[in-house]
Amino acid sequence: MSARLNCSSARCVGRAIKTQTASPLSRAAPAAVTLSQTSISSTRHYAVASQALPTALGKLQLPQDYVSPTKPPTARRPETRKSQMIRAYTALLRSTPLMLLFQHNNLTAVEWAAVRRELRRALREVPAPIAGPDGSAPVDITESIHFQVLRTRMFDVAFKVVEFFDAEEAAKLSNGYTHDLSQTAYEAIQAADTTNPNTAYAQISPLLEGPVAALTFPTVSPAHLAAALKLAAQSGLQKLLLVGGRVEGKAFDYQGVRWVGGIEGGLDGLRSQLVYMLQSAGLGITTALEGHSKGLWLALESRRSQLDEEQNPKKEEGEAPSS
């Protein structure tokens, strides 16, 4: 793809004028000079403050491989709705650890409004957390839980970008752009093995067929999830089918999602359960180990007392005649 892109010419022109006024002597300099960059070895050209010679404005030219810093090259035209949709969905996928996928079968606008209203009401009744993770101030996520209809084809592409495009790896390439619409991202998802059943993409992509809506949570909050699931299980919402979910990058079916909703206290609750389990296991081990040694000690002790008893009467018998 050629790197011929428009740049904001106003800035370049302004800079040219400034240098011209600063050094009036150099008006005698040759007129037709291109606004060339100093770094020739680098393949990427940004608009840095260059020591360009003052030029006549009419002959102002940019190098052929000039790349605007605010508008890097893309694999698809960035102005289109679809491109921006991919960017929005990649951002959504990266920032959402808990996402429920629903199939919505011909809901009317009134029904959508009702679903969203009831969802708001159900989520507002969830008690706010007492403390945030690591003892920080609690954050109420209720307002950040959204229920949105997905464009499945664009979501599919965005999912591939998130799963198969490693931006850090691409940054090591000489001329690799690392944004989601870049050529490297496009090539990465073209080359990826999307049928490998071990990838989260291959597991979730069958769900992304037909009309799909997503309920997105900014954190894994089982209390909020349970409230939403309780709403979804109501008989009035037969048109919404919970087909699956994506929790911490893994695919879950409706039973798995319900299980996540049943975890008390969220991730911290699980951690405390684990700590309790380990502690009680340690207690069990110590008592078990102690038990054996205690038994052995008891056996030896009883044997000793038995031997003592056997010896003592002899002594008594032996001592008795002497006294």
Tell the smallest beta-carbon distance from residue 105 to other proteins (Å).
5
- Looking at beta carbons only, is 105 or 280 nearer to other proteins? 105
Residue whose CB is less far from other proteins, 243 or 263: 243
* Minimum distance of other proteins from residue 104's CB (angstroms): 8
**By the rule CB under 8 A, 254 interacts with other proteins:** yes
122 binds other proteins (CB under 8 A): no
Contact between 94 and 26 under an 8 Å Cβ cutoff? The reply is no
Residues in the interface with other proteins (CB under 8 A) total 25
**257 forms part of the interface with other proteins (CB under 8 A):** no
Task: Report residue 137 CA to chain centroid gap.
Answer: 22
211 near other proteins, judged by CB under 8 A? yes
- Residue 137, amino acid: A
- Least distance from other proteins to the Cβ atom of residue 260, Å: 14
Q: Which of 19, 103, 152, 183 binds other proteins (CB under 8 A)?
A: 103
Interaction mask 150-189, other proteins, x per CB under 8 A: ----------------------------------------
> Using CB under 8 A as the criterion, which residues of the chain lie in contact with other proteins when the complex forms?
103-108, 111, 203, 206-207, 209-211, 238-239, 241-244, 251-256
